[in-house]
A and B are shown apart, each in its own frame.
Chain A
Amino acid sequence: MRRVAVSGIGVVSPLGNSTAEVLANARAGRSGIRRLDIAFAKRLSAPIAGTAQFDEEAHFEASKARMLDRFSMFALFAANQAIEGSHGALADVDRSRAGVFVGTGMGGTLTMDSGYRTLYGDDSDRIKPFTILMGMHSAAAAWIGIEHALRGPNLTYSTACSSSAVAIGEAWMRVASGQLDVAIAGGAEAPLSPGSLKAWEALHTVATMDADDPSASCRPFSKNRSGMVLGEGAAMLVIEPWDRATARGASILGEVIGYGHSNDAAHITRPSVEGQAAAMSSALQSARIDPSEVDAINAHGTGTQANDCTETAAVKAVFGDRAHQIPISATKAMHGHLLGAAGALECMLSLLAMRHSVLLPTAHLQQPDPDCDLDYVPNQAREGAAARTMLSNSFAFGGTNAVLVLRGSS
C-alpha cells in the first residue's frame, strides 16, 4: 500500500467557505446554525439550519448555473478550491488515473422539490427540462469530472449520513493500492428544501429551537439535547500518493491512513454499539495501528439520544478504560448535520485541528449526561494539543458505518 497525502482541501459550509475561516470559527466555538430565512420557515416547528453563506451568481456564470443544483455548485466550488490549493495535483496526471468520489445523501433534492411544487402545488405540467440532470445524485461528481477532464472512475456514494466518509475511504483505497494517482474525494449536500425539511421534521429526530439562542439548538452529548439540526455545504479533498505530492513541493495537509466500514444489519434507524465498534476496529486494522495510538476522535455526535449514547458505548467497547482519556469533538453542534457531506467536513476539520494543534470543542454541552461520560472537549477548544492520529466517525440511517483514520501534518 502506498502512503496517501491530502494535498488540497476545499469547503463551503455554515462555518465559512475557506479552510482558514472554518478553522477560526470552529476553534472559537462559533455556531453556523441560524434561523432559516425563507418563507417556508413559518411552517416548520424548528425553523433553524446550518446555512452556507454562498452567493451562487458570484461563483457561476448564468449559462452554467442554470444546469446546476445547489449541491453541485457546492461540490464544484469546493473541488476547485481544493485543486487550486494542491498546487498542481492535476497538472501532469494521467487523466485515466484520476478519479472523483463524491458522497451525497439527498443529491439534487432542491431541484426535485421545485419540480414537485410545479406539478402538485401549481397543478402545472411545466417541469423544467434540466430537472433530471440537476436532480440526479451523480451530477456533482460528473461536473467535477467534466470541469477538470478527469477520466478515471467517477463515483457517487449514497449511504445517508456516512456517504462522504465512504467516498473518501473508497478513494483512499484506490490511491493507496496504486490504481489511481489522484482522487478528488468528499461530499456535498443542499438539503434545505421545504419537502426535505418537513420530512426530517416528521421523523422526530430534529432539535427543537433554542428560543434564547437558535445557534445553540444542537447539543451533542449534553443531557438537554433535543436532536439534530440539518446543515448544507460541501468539503472536498485532493488525495494522492505521498511521494507524488512531496516531489512536487505541495504542502501536505495531512494523511488518510485507514478506513473501516461495517453494516449494522439490524434496524433502519436505531444505531448499534457492535456495528459502530466494528467500523472503528476495522479502521484501526486497515491503518495497522494499535488502539493506543489514537489521540482524539471526531464523533458522529449528532445530538440525538440514540446516537450519543450508542457512540459513547461503542468508543468504550473499542478503547476500554482508555476511552476516558481520548478527547472527543462533536463539531455538528456548530455546523449542523450535513448528511452526505458531514463525513467530509468532519474529516477536514480533524485534519485542520491536528495541523494547528487544537482540539475542537463540542459546543453547547450545557448539562453533563451520566450516560455520556467521556471527555467531549466541552465548550472550549484546547489549544496546543498535539494529536497526531484521529478517527473521524460517520454513522448512518440504514446502519452503514464508516470510520476514517487520519494523521496530522505540522
Chain B
Amino acid sequence: MTSTFERLSAILAKDYKLSPDRLTLDAPLEGLGIDSLGTVELLWNIEDAFKIKLPSDPVDLPTLGDVVRFVDELVLRQAADSAPAAGASPELRAT
C-alpha cells in the first residue's frame, strides 16, 4: 500500500512541480516554496486526495513529516468517527 508520504510527494511533484529528491520527511515547507498561505492550499488538496475533513482551526506544520503525521492522525480519527454513523451529516444536507 502506498504510504501517506508517497501520496503527498506525488501531489507535490505533480501540482507544485517539485523535484522528488527535495521531498524528505524533514524538508521544511517554507524551503519548498510553500508558506503559510501555500499550506492552506496544500491542505485543501490533501483533503480531497485523502478523503478527510480538515479542522477549521489553523495548524502549524513546519515540515513534510509534520504534514504526514497530521494527515495520518486525521485519517485514523475520521475513519473511527464515521464507522458508526455513515453518510453526510444533517447540516450538510440542509440547503
Contacts and interface: CB of A to CB of B under 8 A. Distances in A.
Contact of B41 (A61, A62, A126, A129): A129
B44 A66 contact: no
A62 B33 CA distance: 11
A128 B15 CA distance: 14
A292 interface: no
Contact of B33 (A63, A129, A130): A63
A62 B32 CA distance: 13
Contacts of A130: 41
Interface string B44-70: 100010000000000000000000000
A120 to B, nearest CB: 11
A63 B48 contact: no
Nearest to A128: B44
Contacts of B40: 129
Q: Which range contains the number of B residues in contact with the other chain?
A: under 10
B37 to A, nearest CB: 8
Given A63-B33, A66-B41, A126 B17 contact: no
A369 B45 CA distance: 57
Contacts of B48: 126
Contacts of B38: 63
Nearest to A63: B33
B54 to A, nearest CB: 11
Nearest to B47: A126
Interface in A5-51: none
A62 B41 CA distance: 13
Interface in A60-74: 61-63, 66
Interface in A128-157: 128-130
A62 B44 contact: no
Interface in A145-184: none
Interface-central residue, A61, A63, A126, by most chain B CB under 10 Å: A63
Interface in B11-29: 15-17
Contacts of B15: 62, 66
Contacts of B16: 62-63
B16 to A, nearest CB: 6
A130 B44 CA distance: 10
Contacts of A63: 16-17, 33, 38
A61 B17 CA distance: 9
A66 B34 CA distance: 12
A126 B38 CA distance: 17
A99 B17 CA distance: 33
B83 to A, nearest CB: 23
B17 A129 contact: no
Contacts of A128: 41, 44
Interface in A106-132: 126, 128-130
Interface string A337-368: 00000000000000000000000000000000
Nearest to A130: B41
A128 to B, nearest CB: 7
A126 B44 CA distance: 8
A61 B40 CA distance: 19
A56 to B, nearest CB: 14
A63 B17 CA distance: 8
A363 to B, nearest CB: 42
Contacts of A66: 15, 41
Contacts of B44: 126, 128-129
A66 B33 CA distance: 13
Contacts of A126: 44, 48
B77 to A, nearest CB: 21
A352 B40 CA distance: 45
B75 to A, nearest CB: 18
B31 to A, nearest CB: 13
A126 B16 CA distance: 19
A213 to B, nearest CB: 41
Given A62-B16, A63-B38, 4 more contacts: A63-B17, A66-B15, A128-B41, A129-B41
Interface of B: 15-17, 33, 38, 40-41, 44, 48
7 contacts: A61-B17, A62-B15, A62-B16, A62-B17, A63-B16, A126-B44, A129-B40
Q: Top 10 nearest A-B pairs by Cβ distance?
A: A62-B17, A129-B41, A129-B44, A129-B40, A63-B33, A63-B16, A130-B41, A62-B16, A126-B48, A128-B44
